[in-house]
Amino acid sequence: MKYEIIGDNLQMVKVELDTGEGLLAEAGAMVNMSGHMQMESQLKGGILSGIKRVLTGESLFLTKFSPAASPGFVSFAGNVPGKIFPVRLAAGNEFVTQRDSFLCCEEGVVLDITFTKKIRSGLFGGEGFILQNMSGAGTVFLHCCGDIVEITLKEGEMVKVQTGLVVGFESTVSYDIALAGGISSIIFGGEGLFVTTLTGPGKVVLQSMDIAKIAASIIPFLPKPKETSGK
């Protein structure tokens, strides 16, 4: 498998597949593909795995793409402006991601769910109680909203992040929340009550924007429904 990430802030990934190779993608993520590329909906891992994907905000079925008789290509893009981030998994490695970040992956990747270890992290961390867990061997493509920030944390090193801006992290990283600051910062700082804390060792991937912020910035400009007077 070969791939190319195309574009700047509205990226898509173009993947070239040889005969016998396959790629699994989130439903509706395909942009274009070779004329002889085959598509097949699959309930990968059975009904239980499908239900787990639904709990993380993904589709029940995944779509498998494979070329019929000769090498071909297929391209994918996310549903909001942003960038695509590839994660290479090897046996024994796991990567945890937020809901809705999965785009596509090689067939050797195992998709599952994991739960936040603390109730307060699930309530106030911005990602909810359920996160996606990816393991196995192969490349996963994640879609980030806005730009990408990649940080490698040392043992015991911590980074604080605004809630909702965590794309994913290696399973060796500890995930929690903390108060954003003092009373004055919470009331007047505009950063919210809590921030997400990530403690190393391990790799962390962040995004510069989240869909909730985009929606909030658009709402004031949407036309208001006209009032109808009843008789």
- Cis bond upstream, residue 201 (ω within 30): yes
pLDDT in tens, the chain (231 residues): 899 999 988 899 999 999 989 999 988 889 999 999 999 987 655 455 555 555 555 555 789 999 988 999 999 998 888 999 999 999 888 999 987 788 999 999 988 877 765 444 444 444 445 788 899 999 999 999 889 999 999 999 999 998 789 999 999 999 887 776 555 544 544 455 678 889 999 999 999 988 777 777 788 888 877 766 554
For the chain, which residues make up each domain, given as ranges? Answer: 2-217
User: Dihedral through CA 194, CA 197, CA 203, CA 207, nearest 10?
Assistant: 10
What pLDDT shows up at residue 120?
Answer: 45
Provide the token pair at 146.
């806005």
Q: Which CATH architecture fits 2-217? A: 4-Layer Sandwich (3.60)
Report the distance separating Cα 49 and Cα 31, nearest Å: 25
104 CB contacts (<8 Å, ≥6 apart)? Answer: 13, 15, 23, 24, 25, 26, 29, 76, 140, 141
What pLDDT shows up at residue 71?
Answer: 94
CB atoms within 10 A of CB 97: 24
Buried b (16+ CB within 10 A) or exposed e, 40-70: eeeebeeeebbebbeebebbeebbbbbbeee
What pLDDT shows up at residue 52?
Answer: 56
Q: Is 187 exposed, middle or buried (0-12, 13-18, 19+ CB in 10 A)?
A: exposed
Three-state SS for 52? Answer: helix
What pLDDT shows up at residue 55?
Answer: 56
CB atoms within 10 A of CB 93: 15
